[in-house]
Amino acid sequence: MFAAVGLLVLCQQQLDRTLSAEAARMMMNAERAVQATNSKPQNARAKREFAERFNHLITALKDFE
Protein backbone atom coordinates (compact mmCIF):
# COMPACT_ATOMS: atom_id res chain seq x y z
CA MET A 1 0.00 0.00 0.00
CA PHE A 2 2.78 2.44 0.93
CA ALA A 3 4.63 1.51 -2.24
CA ALA A 4 1.57 2.35 -4.34
CA VAL A 5 1.17 5.72 -2.61
CA GLY A 6 4.86 6.42 -3.06
CA LEU A 7 4.70 5.60 -6.76
CA LEU A 8 1.68 7.84 -7.22
CA VAL A 9 3.48 10.74 -5.55
CA LEU A 10 6.63 10.21 -7.60
CA CYS A 11 4.72 9.92 -10.86
CA GLN A 12 2.84 13.14 -10.25
CA GLN A 13 6.01 15.18 -9.82
CA GLN A 14 7.11 16.74 -13.07
CA LEU A 15 10.74 17.33 -13.81
CA ASP A 16 11.49 20.96 -14.47
CA ARG A 17 14.71 21.17 -16.49
CA THR A 18 14.85 24.94 -16.19
CA LEU A 19 14.83 24.69 -12.41
CA SER A 20 17.62 22.12 -12.39
CA ALA A 21 19.72 24.24 -14.78
CA GLU A 22 19.15 27.28 -12.60
CA ALA A 23 20.16 25.31 -9.50
CA ALA A 24 23.34 24.16 -11.26
CA ARG A 25 24.13 27.75 -12.25
CA MET A 26 23.62 28.92 -8.68
CA MET A 27 25.95 26.18 -7.41
CA MET A 28 28.64 27.21 -9.89
CA ASN A 29 28.32 30.86 -8.84
CA ALA A 30 28.59 29.88 -5.18
CA GLU A 31 31.70 27.79 -5.86
CA ARG A 32 33.30 30.70 -7.75
CA ALA A 33 32.56 33.04 -4.86
CA VAL A 34 34.17 30.64 -2.38
CA GLN A 35 37.24 30.27 -4.60
CA ALA A 36 37.53 34.03 -4.98
CA THR A 37 37.43 34.62 -1.23
CA ASN A 38 39.98 31.87 -0.64
CA SER A 39 42.41 33.21 -3.24
CA LYS A 40 42.50 36.80 -1.93
CA PRO A 41 44.64 36.05 1.15
CA GLN A 42 46.99 33.95 -1.00
CA ASN A 43 47.38 36.80 -3.49
CA ALA A 44 48.08 39.29 -0.73
CA ARG A 45 50.65 36.97 0.82
CA ALA A 46 52.35 36.42 -2.54
CA LYS A 47 52.53 40.18 -3.11
CA ARG A 48 54.06 40.71 0.34
CA GLU A 49 56.65 38.00 -0.26
CA PHE A 50 57.52 39.49 -3.65
CA ALA A 51 57.92 42.96 -2.12
CA GLU A 52 60.18 41.59 0.63
CA ARG A 53 62.36 39.74 -1.88
CA PHE A 54 62.54 42.78 -4.12
CA ASN A 55 63.56 44.98 -1.18
CA HIS A 56 66.28 42.48 -0.24
CA LEU A 57 67.51 42.53 -3.83
CA ILE A 58 67.68 46.31 -3.86
CA THR A 59 69.54 46.31 -0.54
CA ALA A 60 72.00 43.72 -1.85
CA LEU A 61 72.61 45.75 -5.01
CA LYS A 62 73.24 48.91 -2.98
CA ASP A 63 75.65 47.03 -0.71
CA PHE A 64 77.46 45.66 -3.76
CA GLU A 65 78.13 49.15 -5.09
Q: Quick check: pTM over 0.75? A: no
Give tens-digit pLDDT for 11-56.
665 656 677 788 888 889 988 888 877 777 778 888 999 999 999 9
- Reported as a pLDDT band with limits 50, 70 and 90, residue 6 is low
Q: Annotate 7-61 with DSSP letters as a single string.
A: HHHHHHPPP-HHHHHHHHHHHHHHHHHHHHHHHHHHHHHHHHHHHHHHHHHHHHH
Cα 54 to Cα 42: distance, rounded to the nearest angstrom: 18
- Domain layout of the chain by residue ranges: 37-65
